[in-house]
Amino acid sequence: MSAKAALDAVIADVRSHSIGADRSGFFTALHHIDLLSHLALRFAGDAYDHLAAAHETGSPWHPVDALTAAAVPLSRAQHHYAQAMVAVAALNRLAPGTTAAARLEGIEHHSVLRTHLHAAKQSLEEARTALHMPTPARTSSPPAPAPPSTPASTKSARR
């Protein structure tokens, strides 16, 4: 499976399993983090392989740039899902029918949860954009110039 197809599959899975404020939301957030961790690790490994090939054979650098650029927002999405887990845990500590102060605290946790879920979705879209955006190919460095000849080496070459 290509990197683009893998990312699209993970994004589709994340979209089809929303995170709620209940205990199942905690598990779902953990599942999203697991998927994103595996995908970011795959992107980093693939980038390493392409980097080695680029140095050895002079192949294009585009896969290295695209994969590493996509891995960064994937890691950001993991961070936001972890922060969402904190909010879900806090919401699950609140007993139903508690005081008005506790209900206000619940509203704050819901707001934090929604903020992190929105930021995670934005990060996933950034990863998709980074992976699908064409990157100009890097030009290889010109060969190093030959060392200047010294008078001694010139004389020995003439003999």
Residues contacting 84, CB < 8 A, separation 6+: 19, 25, 29, 113, 116, 117, 120
| DSSP string computed for 64-116 | HHHHHHHHHHHHHHHHHHHHHHHHHHHHHHSPTT--HHHHHHHHHHHHHHHHH
Residue type, 63: P
pTM over 0.95: no
Read off the pLDDT of residues 57-69 as tens digits, 9 standing for 90 and up: 766 667 888 899 9
Kindly report, residue by residue over 102-159, the tens digit of the pLDDT: 777 778 889 999 999 999 999 999 999 998 876 555 455 555 566 676 666 555 555 5
